[in-house]
Amino acid sequence: MAIVKVHEKYKWKFLEKNYFYSIGAGMLVTLGAFFKTGILNKAVTIRYPEETRPVSNRLRGLHTLKRDEEDRERCTACFCCQWSCPADAIHIEAAEVPPERAHLHPEDKYAKVFQVDLLRCIYCGLCEEACPKGAIYLDGGIPMPADHRDKFIRNKEDMLEEKGGPLIGERI
């Protein structure tokens, strides 16, 4: 049986044999980028995390809890978000509003503990959809890296905004 040759050794062309040609071509790209970013200030990258890119207002990012027009917490610990969460990421402990907090809540039930485990969360947005009070939104930007598991648990204090947010069923 005749031998079929399937591979032939690559034959270098003259210019390719001369390495300065390839290096020169590479340097041209580098210098081009250097002029563009260093001199003309046209960089495509940013200094994350000091700088961040604008994101779509439909991005599902970190959870925030909203206050209403009178700075009272909207969340009333109805557990709808916890119930709808497919990843079991939300943990709420409800309690009766004590008199000293009465001005912070429109109802008599509130979330004493409200935690979101960002390592469990799949950012599906179902909690936002389920909330009958317009209290939870995933509009807090992109999660930061951290060096300990516990730092990925977002507590009520981390999520609660000073001012009222969007109305029920609305994004900013």
Partner 1 sequence: MVKITVDGTEVLVNEKKNLIDALKDVGVSVPHFCYHPKLEVVGMCRLCMVEIGSAKVDPATKQIVKDQTGKPIVIFNPKMQAACNTPVTEGMYVNVNSEKAKAARAGVMEFQLINHPLDCPVCDKAGECALQDYSFSVGDSGSRFREHKRNHPVEKIGTNLRIVHNRCILCYRCVRFERDIVGRDDLELQERGNETVIGYTPLNASSGPLLDTNYQGALADLCPVGALLNENTLFQSRVWWYDAKQSICHGCSELCHVTTNVKDNELYRYMPPKNPEETNYFICDAGRFSVHEFSRNRLHAYLLKGHPGKSVDILPQVAENLLNASKVAIVGGSTLSNEEVDAIQLLVNEWRNSSKDVAWEFRTETPMWENRFAEKADFLMMVDRRPNSKKLLDSKAVSIGERKGWEEYLSQVDLIIVLNEFSAPYAFDATRGIENSELYKLFEQKDLWKKTILVSTHESAATKKALASLPVKAFPEMEATYTRHDGQIRKSIPVLKPVKGLKTASEVLASLSGKAELARR
> Is residue 153 near ligand SF4 by the rule CB under 6 A?
no
Site string for partner 1, 86-115 (x = CB under 8 A): --------xxx----------xxx------
CA–CA separation, 39 vs 61, rounded Å?
Answer: 35
Name the binder of 107 from partner 1, ligand SF4, none, CB < 5-8 A by kind. Answer: partner 1
CA–CA separation, 4 vs 139, rounded Å?
Answer: 63
For the chain, state the CA radius of gyration.
Answer: 28
CA–CA separation, 135 vs 50, rounded Å?
Answer: 29
Site string for partner 1, 62-81 (x = CB under 8 A): --------------xxxxx-
Please give the single-letter amino acid code of residue 22. Answer: S
DSSP structural state of residue 43: -
Name the binder of 96 from ligand SF4, partner 1, none, CB < 5-8 A by kind. Answer: partner 1
Footprint of partner 1 (CB under 8 A): 76-80, 83, 94-96, 107-109, 132-133
